[in-house]
Amino acid sequence: MRVLAAVIIFAVAAFSWNAAIAFPDGAPWGAANPAAEQNCATCHFGDEPVRDSVALKIDGLPAQPAPGEMYELKIIFDDPDMAIAGFQLIAQVVEQQAGTFVSSAEDVEFIGSAIRSTAPVSNDDGVAWSFEWRAPVEIESPIVFHVAATAANDDGSPFGDIVHFRSYRLPAD
């Protein structure tokens, strides 16, 4: 019985360690898309991911973006069961980049039309991240924003984390 318990503990520890170091620089860009092969729920699990989550929203998105215009956006995430949280957001036009993100926040990084947190944020009645998005100069197709946020329990393992997904679609000109 002791041998079986030791094997189980070793397997859980090895799995947790591997999941934690699988992406030491953060989730792959594009993991916010729930249809992506490597999405946020690949490494954070415990319960089923929440699709079209009402706990996750983007404030500041225009009803219809103006070409080249800069918009101040804010991701608001409110899951009362989370201890810490992180996010990733991508803007796409038919699987291509759409616009660019910028942020001066210390714990946020961006590359083109993708942005993500680099450090967990503690839950104090919900969390929020602010940044800017510049719409593409030409908008010929609808722009889809895929946002994912992880409600984590802060135990250092992938167990007990819940990923929330939500998508927004902005029309073309």
CATH code for the domain of 110? 2.60.40.4060
Residue 67 lies in a domain: yes
Residue 11 lies in a domain: no
Residue 10 lies in a domain: no
Rg of the chain's alpha carbons, rounded to an integer?
17
Residue 9 lies in a domain: no
Q: Over pLDDT 90: what percentage of the chain?
A: 40
User: Which of 121, 122, 125 minimizes the C-alpha distance to 78?
Assistant: 125
Number of domains in the chain: 1
Question: Which DSSP category does 79 fall into?
Answer: -
| Buried b or exposed e, range 41-60, using 16+ CB within 10 angstroms | bbbbbeeebbeebebbbeee
DSSP H helices, the chain, are 2-22
Residue 40 lies in a domain: yes
- 27 touches 43 (CB < 8 A): yes
pLDDT digit string, tens, across residues 90-129: 998 876 678 888 888 888 899 889 999 988 888 877 799 9
Residue 91 lies in a domain: yes
Residue 79 lies in a domain: yes
Give yes or no for residue 134 having a pLDDT over 80. yes
Q: Estimate to the nearest angstrom the gap between the alpha carbon of 3 and the chain centroid.
A: 39
Range of the domain at 120: 26-170
User: Which of 121, 156, 137, 158 minimizes the C-alpha distance to 46?
Assistant: 158
Residue 166 lies in a domain: yes
CA separation for the pair 111, 102 (Å, rounded)? 8
pLDDT digit string, tens, across residues 3-49: 544 434 444 444 443 444 456 667 788 888 888 888 888 888 778 89
